[in-house]
Structure 1
């Protein structure tokens, strides 16, 4: 929608007092709209073209009728020039209604008022029926396009400024004036309901999009916290080893100079301080019911374990190791394991029964992990709200690597991660 508002005017929920009624009349009659009108289904071009074609056809037909009917039916008949001017003023503004409904209403209403004052003859009412039909369609677009307060002002002026003069000045029957007033109110209420419903639907769509963004952001933050906790356990192990070795060195090396002993003491104290600070910071990332990890963090040495679980879930998994396995940094080892684990979990959900190939390639400067499936054999689950790829990307970005994930040819899904060793 172009320039829509996500909520109706606050005054819609309150009673209309005199000041609000004056504001409504001024907004409808003379004030420029503060915001562009609502436009239904702006993104569907074929609908917009169909609407334009329909409105153009109605405008041509209604304008022709508005000119011809007074010349042939009204007594006394207006001159052709007067009939043409009135017909164009009353019906042609319909062409503007989809884009500028309030301007179209003002022009058409002025043309109808002029007709009521000029065509005072023996006719049942002072307007051609086609002029009134065009006016009714314009009323609908106006109620759809603007807030309820504007629709109230339009309704008041349409009844008080057009129908009442037609009854008083042109001699239109009172009962027929009541019918026309009812038509005006009915069209405005219907248009307001259509516009309000469409606005509510767009508001819900916007809120849903924001909710998805918030969920994705939350998933990224949670995954970063999880990565930090896992790395803490890895780093804590190494820092503990450093502290213990620095403390034991003076006892292992006889006749160690005092300067070297002092150096080992500094190394031990620095390692302990770093370990304490790391635990304090990472402790903030743990939930209240989450304790420190007691078991070692997994790595590729547990690859067969996670593959075995995937096979029990119904997948046919082949594991290929390319290159000579080598010791890699704990963060790289852990991230590679998590990527394989998450990829197999996704495959079991969205490609049940698939054949999966897991390839671990030890390259010259990076560890490459590729997980490819060939598509579901049975009905997969509906796409859910998981954020597995978010976690993979966070891990790869932390290590300065690259990740590509997407449909595979001819079918299935592929995840390819490149994790630099970080030996420099």
Structure 2
């Protein structure tokens, strides 16, 4: 290795060492000093039937460990009851706090352990009751679950160097201190592994939820664009008719007054200008297939075609018409057709072989479209987020000031019901 390469390699090693030392110091600072970095979490299941037993178990462990940490020094080591009570509470009682404030619980317990090592130096094999050390291990586990890796390294370093180290210096055998340090490291590593998995699962759930929201937003935008294209066709057709009628009126009506002729000219020019603006604004939403877009927009007059296609796909479809059919606004007619179309498509995918009943009810003020199936008789397709057809249907109905309900039926199957005001027929 030449001199420049060797120097560069040494600089890289020094930079790496400085970075590691900085991370260690930052971790120790985060472990020892309270601040906004302290985790405030509830590391318990959301379901109450799991949370309550675990809380009761934690309470029982806290009471048992604290009582043992007080009684063992008094009965076995014949220590002062007052000092034993203070040390026992400091060392084991913070366990109950660990489920919400793990770092605060560790600071209290570690302080109690250090105080115990200083007050009981040179007496016995080690200066703490075994129950207190078990409580500390549980607290460390909660710390590992909740804290980031940098803080966790600081907690481990302080526990080994600041709690176990002084105990070894004050009389505890070194080999036993090494065993305790190994146990601390194993508990921290185990908790960190479980905490990392919990974090990964939470991130995956969050990403899945964001993906579902993105898909729903995309479905809304796509459906609105589709509605806009269909609205463009409807408006363009009627504005063209208005423009042509206004253009032809002076030739159809003999001896038309000049004022009326001018009025028809204004109507014609306004219609053409509106048509141009509509094509300019909404026409950008069109796809390249202009021929398909200029086809007449479907309505309930093509309901038989939908029923025939659904029967061909394996559904058993029945149609009921209630009330006297009446002319419908183009938007209402088209939306009713799309609602039935989407409902039959969903039934084909998720309720294959089911019986589907379509009901078209002409009420006094609104049109009710109802599509009900009785559940799958075959193996339905696997759902991959779904629900976007319902988003589109709801967009259409809301645009027409109507209401839509959709959901599972108590007797099985699925039901979609839309009530749409008639509006003004075209």
Scaled by the length of structure 1, the TM-score of the pair is 0.90
Measured after TM superposition, the shift of residue 92 of structure 1 is 2.0
Q: Give me the CA root mean square deviation.
A: 2.3
CA distance in 1, matches of 2:279, 2:135: 75
CA distance in 2, matches of 1:318, 1:142: 62
**1:359 counterpart = 2:359:** yes
For residues 235-261 of structure 1, give each alpha carbon's deviation from its aligned partner in whole angstroms, at most 9, with x where no partner exists: 211111111121122222222222222
Q: 1:126-275 counterparts in 2 under 5 A?
A: 126-169=127-170, 171-275=171-275
Question: Which residue of 2 is the match for residue 379 of structure 1?
Answer: 379
**1:108 counterpart = 2:102:** no
Question: Could you tell me whether the CA contact under 8 Å between 2:38 and 2:103 is conserved in 1?
Answer: no
Question: Could you tell me whether the CA contact under 8 Å between 1:78 and 1:119 is conserved in 2?
Answer: no
Structure 2 gap ranges (5+): 1-15
For residues 110-129 of structure 1, give each alpha carbon's deviation from its aligned partner in whole angstroms, at most 9, with x where no partner exists: 22112222223452222222
SS of 2:423's partner is: coil
Question: Which residue of 2 is the match for residue 338 of structure 1?
Answer: 338
Q: 1:45 aligns with which of 43, 48, 70?
A: 48
Question: Which residue of 2 is the match for residue 5 of structure 1?
Answer: none
In the superposition, relative to structure 1, how do residues 422 and 289 fare at CA in structure 2: closer, same or farther (>3 Å)? closer
For residues 23-70 of structure 1, give each alpha carbon's deviation from its aligned partner in whole angstroms, at most 9, with x where no partner exists: 322322232343433332441223322222222222232223323333
Question: Which residue of 2 is the match for residue 326 of structure 1?
Answer: 326
**1:410 counterpart = 2:406:** no
**1:123 counterpart = 2:124:** yes
Q: 2:34 aligns with which of 31, 49, 60?
A: 31
Measured after TM superposition, the shift of residue 296 of structure 1 is 0.5
For residues 122-180 of structure 1, give each alpha carbon's deviation from its aligned partner in whole angstroms, at most 9, with x where no partner exists: 522222222211111111111222222222222111111111111111x2222221111
CA distance in 1, matches of 2:181, 2:269: 90
Q: 2:25 aligns with which of 14, 22, 26?
A: 22
CA distance in 2, matches of 1:301, 1:354: 24
Question: Could you tell me whether the CA contact under 8 Å between 2:243 and 2:268 is conserved in 1?
Answer: yes
Question: Could you tell me whether the CA contact under 8 Å between 2:229 and 2:282 is conserved in 1?
Answer: yes
For residues 331-361 of structure 1, give each alpha carbon's deviation from its aligned partner in whole angstroms, at most 9, with x where no partner exists: 1111111111111111112221122221222
Question: Which residue of 2 is the match for residue 4 of structure 1?
Answer: none
**1:67 counterpart = 2:34:** no
SS of 2:285's partner is: coil
CA distance in 2, matches of 1:120, 1:36: 34
Question: Could you tell me whether the CA contact under 8 Å between 2:30 and 2:37 is conserved in 1?
Answer: no
Measured after TM superposition, the shift of residue 402 of structure 1 is 1.6
In the superposition, relative to structure 1, how do residues 104 and 174 fare at CA in structure 2: closer, same or farther (>3 Å)? same
Of the structure 1 ranges 122-131 and 227-236, higher mean CA displacement relative to structure 2 is found in 122-131
Measured after TM superposition, the shift of residue 379 of structure 1 is 2.5
Question: Could you tell me whether the CA contact under 8 Å between 1:357 and 1:373 is conserved in 2?
Answer: yes
Measured after TM superposition, the shift of residue 233 of structure 1 is 0.9
Question: Could you tell me whether the CA contact under 8 Å between 1:38 and 1:146 is conserved in 2?
Answer: no
In the superposition, relative to structure 1, how do residues 383 and 126 fare at CA in structure 2: closer, same or farther (>3 Å)? same
CA distance in 2, matches of 1:66, 1:145: 26
SS of 2:293's partner is: coil
Structure 1 gap ranges (5+): 1-12
Measured after TM superposition, the shift of residue 15 of structure 1 is 7.5
Relative to total residues, which structure has the larger helix share, 1 or 2? 2
Question: Could you tell me whether the CA contact under 8 Å between 2:232 and 2:283 is conserved in 1?
Answer: no
Measured after TM superposition, the shift of residue 290 of structure 1 is 6.4
SS of 1:284's partner is: helix
Scaled by the length of structure 2, the TM-score of the pair is 0.89
In the superposition, relative to structure 1, how do residues 286 and 368 fare at CA in structure 2: closer, same or farther (>3 Å)? same
Of the structure 1 ranges 310-319 and 56-65, higher mean CA displacement relative to structure 2 is found in 56-65
Measured after TM superposition, the shift of residue 223 of structure 1 is 0.6
SS of 2:39's partner is: coil
CA distance in 2, matches of 1:290, 1:60: 77
Measured after TM superposition, the shift of residue 371 of structure 1 is 1.5
SS of 1:361's partner is: strand
CA distance in 2, matches of 1:205, 1:332: 39
